[in-house]
Amino acid sequence: MSSHMALPLPSEARLRLRDRCAGLLGFTLAVVLLRLPLKYSVAVVAQLKRRTPGPATVAETETAVVAARRAARWFPGRAACLENSLAAALTALLMGHRVDWCIGARLMPYAAHAWVEAEGVPVGEPAEPDRPYLLLQRT
């Protein structure tokens, strides 16, 4: 099984088959894209966002995050924040909802992190982070 960050799933609601399939496809695409340089993943997400009609609500994004993380359970490799956030962004885009894929970092101690946002709110993240991340890339 994959190794996960210690973040709980945002919701334990039952997913529809369509959402589970989108999560599986989104996670598979994320794993493939992350084998390439990061600029290609950013370009794919940006291109898909341009073709997606409307922004996602927090609830729709939460569904995409849950679907992507559930698909990640079956992956035998690493499934940490970068993989899960890209998978959630791709899943939301496949469902027809535009989200922001964010990558950030902080200092002392240095840490990098990736997440998705909807309506300007990080989704699937702790409500009270110990220290905020400096946003480096929003796609």
Alpha helices in 1-139 (DSSP H): 17-33, 38-51, 58-72, 81-94
Q: Which of 138, 136, 139, 129 is nearest to 105 (CA)?
A: 136
Residue 137's alpha-carbon distances to 16, 48, 68, 105, in angstroms, are 31, 16, 21, 10
Lowest mean pLDDT among 5-19, 33-47, 69-83: 5-19
Residue 25 has pLDDT above 50, yes or no: yes
**Predicted confidence band of residue 5 (pLDDT cuts 50, 70, 90):** very low
Residue 12 has pLDDT above 70, yes or no: no
Q: Which of 20, 1, 5 is nearest to 85 (CA)?
A: 5
Overall average pLDDT of the 30-39 stretch: 96
Residue 130 has pLDDT above 90, yes or no: no
Angle subtended at Cα 46 by Cα 83 and Cα 50, rounded to the nearest 5 degrees: 135
Overall average pLDDT of the 3-22 stretch: 68
Contact call for residues 116 and 102 (beta carbons, < 8 A): yes
**Predicted confidence band of residue 11 (pLDDT cuts 50, 70, 90):** low
pLDDT of residue 127: 77
Residue 9 has pLDDT above 80, yes or no: no
